Amino acid sequence: MTNTARHTTAIILAAGLGTRMKSRLPKALHRLGNRPMITHLIDTAREIFDDVVVVVGPDMPELEKAVQPYRTVVQTERLGTAHATNTAKDLFGDGDIAVLYADNPLITADTMRRLTEARQGGASLALLGMRPADPGRYGRIVEEQGRVSRIVEYKDANEQEREIALCNAGVMCAGAADFRRWLAAVGNDNAQGEYYLTDVVAMAASEGRVQCVEAPETELAGVNSRVELAQAEATLQQRLRISAMEGGVTLVSPETTFFSTDTCLEPDVVVEPNVFFGPGVTVRSGALIRAFSHLEGCTVGEGAMIGPYARLRPGTICAADTHVGNFVELKNVDLGPGAKANHLTYLGDASVGAQTNVGAGTVTCNYDGYFKHRTTIGARNFIGSDAILVAPVTIGDDALIAAGSTITEDVPAGALAFGRARQTIKPDRGLEIKQTLKAKKEQG
């Protein structure tokens, strides 16, 4: 939060339906970095502004819930950006306000800070501008004698104005009292018949200095379609990858590693190619995440090795020096220090003690069709391959479960448990069966 005497409020416009998204979901709720894109903007705004107010459209309860605990106001009719901003005028306060857009989720705190500093430096209004490679249909920032005089929307611009490279990003900051006065004077005599927020720029320029703060296109470009959403995701992922590597993480193939915004990787973590981090993942120092692994809602301890082709699901905690190998899935599992599950195993709703080895093909049967049940495996156990552990069941420390066993009862500490049919041998019968089948095949 900025440390100034002047109170600041961010007004975030989020009432748009996002028709180009072709979705029933409000545009602001489409996800970037595995969370709604509006939450990115709110979190950044909270670093700079004292308050946040979100303007939503009618019948958007999911959006109102997503932005809690911040205040919301409803724009009952979608009559343009000035109309949306004016809807929140009673919540402007007495200091400065900045108008932001939910579909500009990647604005950085540094850019927001430069915007507020331009305003505090004496500008009657400060706004953000960019010079995109393809200006397309962005509004153009018109300057006269080196000063911003107005903004013209693309649909209302003449050919000369459309040649201007400096484009409007939509974001602007000014005093609350000035904004209220300007908004009351905005009309809708334009090609769209809407109340444009950009019209206040000319009003501000007639009263004082309007300052444009420029920022990169990747930071300010809007998200109005699935294509632009994918482009914004690529920008965000690049930021997250750079941040991870600058923090001491080795990404063997950065472009194939995908993060959530809350992914926490400590220094000296190594991530091999094609790894996906869903929400809520923490990886401690020295851990190795091998190729093609998928992690979500889990914690990986120091020195642990995960993968390749491992899946860690929510609620899983892998302690220090654990090994989770190829085609192993863990869900809501506590894997104790030094424990290993190296091959083709499913452990769900289970606790595994320190130094226990879980053999290939082991399954904890945690669901009976109605309820989930927990399996507790003690320390220093050896669970043989293809063991089926039917929960609820407890296996004490230092036990051995024979390969191929189905365990339905608790196993005491130090015990050897078998749970399989007795082996029967019929001499020469195997050869007889093979010869019979071979003869049938030859006879067609």
Q: Which residues contact 81 (CB under 8 A, 6 or more apart)?
A: 13, 99, 170, 194, 195, 196, 197, 198
440 carries a ligand binding annotation: no
Q: Give the residue extent of every domain in the chain.
A: 8-220, 247-326, 337-444
Active site residues: 343
Report the alpha-carbon distance of residue 199 to residue 204 in Å, rounded. 9
Please state the pTM of the whole predicted model: 0.89
**Residue 262: how many other CB atoms lie within 10 Å:** 14
Considering only the top CATH level, what class is 247-326? mainly beta
Q: Is-same-fold flag (8-220; 247-326)?
A: no
CATH topology of domain 337-444: UDP N-Acetylglucosamine Acyltransferase; domain 1 (2.160.10)
- Decide if 23 contacts 111 (C-beta within 8 A): no
| 143-147, Cβ contacts within 8 angstroms, sequence gap of 24 or more | 143/212, 147/205, 147/209, 147/210
CA distance linking residue 21 with residue 41, whole number of Å: 19
3-state secondary structure of 115: helix
**What is the number of alpha carbons within 13 Å of residue 248 lying toward its C-beta?**
11
**403 known member of a binding site:** yes
Establish whether 139 is an annotated binding residue: yes
Whether 154 has a binding-site annotation, put simply, is no
Annotated ligand binding at 168? The verdict is: yes
Ligand-binding annotation for 103, yes or no, is yes
* Number of neighbours of residue 93 by Cβ within 10 angstroms: 15
| Lookup result for tokens 């993480």 | 249
Residue 331 assigned ligand-binding role = yes
Q: If we measure between CA atoms, which residue out of 12, 230, 237, 227 comes closest to residue 104?
A: 12
Query: Phi and psi of 232, rounded to 5°?
Result: -65, -40
Task: With residue 163 as reference, give the H or E element that holds it.
Answer: none
381 annotated ligand binder: no
Rounded Cα distance between 194 and 188, Å, is: 5
338 labeled part of a ligand binding site: no
Please report, in tens digits, the pLDDT of each residue of the chain (444 residues total).
444 458 999 999 999 887 889 999 999 999 999 999 999 999 999 999 999 999 999 989 999 999 999 999 999 999 999 999 999 999 999 999 999 999 999 999 999 999 999 999 999 999 999 999 988 888 999 998 878 999 998 888 999 999 999 999 999 999 999 999 999 999 998 778 889 898 999 999 999 999 999 999 999 988 999 999 999 999 999 999 999 999 999 999 999 999 999 999 999 999 999 999 999 999 999 999 999 999 999 999 999 999 999 999 999 999 999 999 999 999 999 999 999 999 999 999 999 999 999 999 999 999 998 999 999 999 999 999 999 999 999 999 999 999 999 999 999 999 999 998 888 889 999 899 999 999 999 997
Q: Is there a binding annotation on residue 357?
A: yes
At residue 173, what is the residue type?
C
CATH T-level assignment (fold) for domain 8-220: Spore Coat Polysaccharide Biosynthesis Protein SpsA; Chain A (3.90.550)
Integer CA distances (angstroms), 203 to 173, 186, 330, in order: 14, 9, 61
Please give the C-alpha separations between residue 2 and each of 10, 45, 99, 237, 436, in angstroms, as whole numbers: 12, 10, 16, 27, 86
Cβ contacts of 77-81, under 8 Å, gap ≥ 24: 78/15, 78/16, 78/17, 79/188, 79/194, 79/195, 80/188, 80/192, 80/194, 80/195, 80/196, 80/197, 81/13, 81/170, 81/194, 81/195, 81/196, 81/197, 81/198
